[in-house]
């Protein structure tokens, strides 16, 4: 038997979705919606966003370059700690 994991987003908690789970006898593991503790890379996206916002460009090619530079600045241990 499989366990189906989903967050509590409204599309997952809709009546039709709940009926499908019940009809198929699915074991559902509920997770809080949009909880960074359960989605560790949300912390990295926040760090990247903060780094990019320190710059003031609205030119797409410059923003792409800034994103790459800020991504490279993220400490490797930060990634490792989020998934360890």
Calpha distance 18→27 (Å, rounded): 11
23 vs 2 pLDDT, higher one: 23
* Residue (of 34, 42, 48, 51) closest to 83 by Cα position: 42
Please indicate, yes or no, whether the overall pTM of this predicted structure exceeds 0.75: no
The DSSP bridge pattern shows strands 27-31 and 3-7 to be: parallel
Q: Output the six-digit token pair for 55.
A: 């710059």
Q: Does 70 score more than 90 pLDDT?
A: yes
Read off the pLDDT of residues 8-66 as tens digits, 9 standing for 90 and up: 777 778 899 889 888 988 888 877 766 666 677 788 889 999 999 999 889 999 999 99
């Amino acid at each position: 038997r499989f366990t189906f994991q989903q967050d509590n987003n409204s599309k997952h908690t809709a009546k039709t979705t709940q009926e499908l789970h019940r009809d198929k006898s699915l074991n559902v593991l509920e997770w809080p919606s949009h909880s960074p503790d359960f989605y560790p890379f949300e912390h990295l996206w926040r760090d990247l966003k903060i780094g990019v916002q320190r710059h003031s460009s609205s030119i797409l090619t410059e923003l792409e370059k800034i994103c790459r530079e800020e991504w490279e600045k993220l400490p490797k241990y930060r990634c490792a700690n989020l998934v360890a």
